[in-house]
Amino acid sequence: MANLAVMVNGLPGNMGQEVARAVLRRGWTLVPWALTGEIVKEDSMELDGMEIGFLKPRDRDARIGEILMANPGLIAVDYTHPDAVNANAEFYVRHKIPFVMGTTGGDRAKLQELLASAGLACVVAPNMAKQIVGFQAMVDWASREFPDLFAGWKLQVRESHQKGKADTSGTAKAVVASMARWGLDASVEKIEKIREENAQMEFGVPETALKGHAFHTYSIDSADGSVHFEFRHNVCGRRIYAEGTCDAVAFLEGKLHSGENRLFTMFDVLREGRMG
């Protein structure tokens, strides 16, 4: 696996940079090209002494063939923009590029429909942090085992990410979808999205983590207010997501060798147990 070639798309974004450094820490080959948006003015960037060229939508189809030839077995990682989710997935399918997508947003129903019939090995998840995915799995299991457990109770969900995150947290959406089975009014529209820095610090985010964090609080109260449940997962920085993403890459590389070409989730990665 030392020669595994990984193309990190979404540079020069912060999450892309974090994943690129995690790829290098694992001794893998970081492909010196990255998909990025037309809005990015630069044509390349330097990352830890390495020059990485940018492929814009207008020229990526023409250039990707030579990159794939130079990097056999390439696996792509996608941390781009919510608006690019579906177009990027179509690009990967078109060129038969296995990929790990941590980008949230986009039309998820269309994404699922595309990948269900694509015959392409990929991992798609709204959260790549293993421990948080484990929490999601626990809530999902409990909501299926004990439906309507909190029927008649009230749910409040608040999430805070760096102000540059355009969409509502995909993790919060996934957890809320599970909590709805408990009989809670768990509509996505009621998730409170905190992006203003003063409000974030009041929510408990350290000032040093304002540019990179993920704080979530799920509060459940009885109708009369006499009982309160609260679930929290607060993350400062991005390293936990980068390392989980690399675990997903390692998982996907194994699936390619075994010929399993289908859509996987981080739940599948956790079940496999191949984690660094």
In which residue ranges of the chain is pLDDT below 70? 1-2, 274-276
Whether 124 and 134 share a structural domain: no
Which pLDDT belongs to residue 151?
97
In 3D space, the residue among 252, 247, 243, 269 whose CA is nearest the CA of residue 99 turns out to be: 252
The percent of the chain in helix, strand and coil, each rounded to the nearest 5, is 40, 20, 35
Report the distance separating Cα 221 and Cα 139, nearest Å.
17
Q: Which is the catalytic residue, given 161, 216, 233, 255?
A: 161
Whether 98 and 159 share a structural domain: no
Which pLDDT belongs to residue 119?
95
Catalytic residue flag (residue 161) = yes
Which pLDDT belongs to residue 165?
87
User: Which tokens in the block code for residue 38?
Assistant: 């037309």
What is the count of structural domains for the chain?
A: 2
Q: Which is the catalytic residue, given 81, 130, 165, 173?
A: 165
Whether 259 and 172 share a structural domain: no
Specify the pTM.
0.85
Whether 244 and 215 share a structural domain: no
Query: Which structural domain, as residue segments, surrounds residue 250?
Result: 5-128+239-272
Whether 86 and 151 share a structural domain: no
CATH number of the domain residue 26 falls in? 3.40.50.720
Which pLDDT belongs to residue 197?
97
Whether 88 and 101 share a structural domain: yes
Report the distance separating Cα 38 and Cα 263, nearest Å.
28
79-135 residue pLDDT tens: 999 999 999 999 999 999 999 999 988 999 999 999 999 999 999 998 899 999 999
Whether 92 and 135 share a structural domain: no
What per-residue string of b and e applies to 210-249 under the rule 16 or more CB within 10 Å gives b?
bebbbbbbbebbeeeeeeeeeeebebeebebbbbbbbbbb
Catalytic residue flag (residue 173) = no
Whether 198 and 88 share a structural domain: no
CATH number of the domain residue 174 falls in? 3.30.360.10
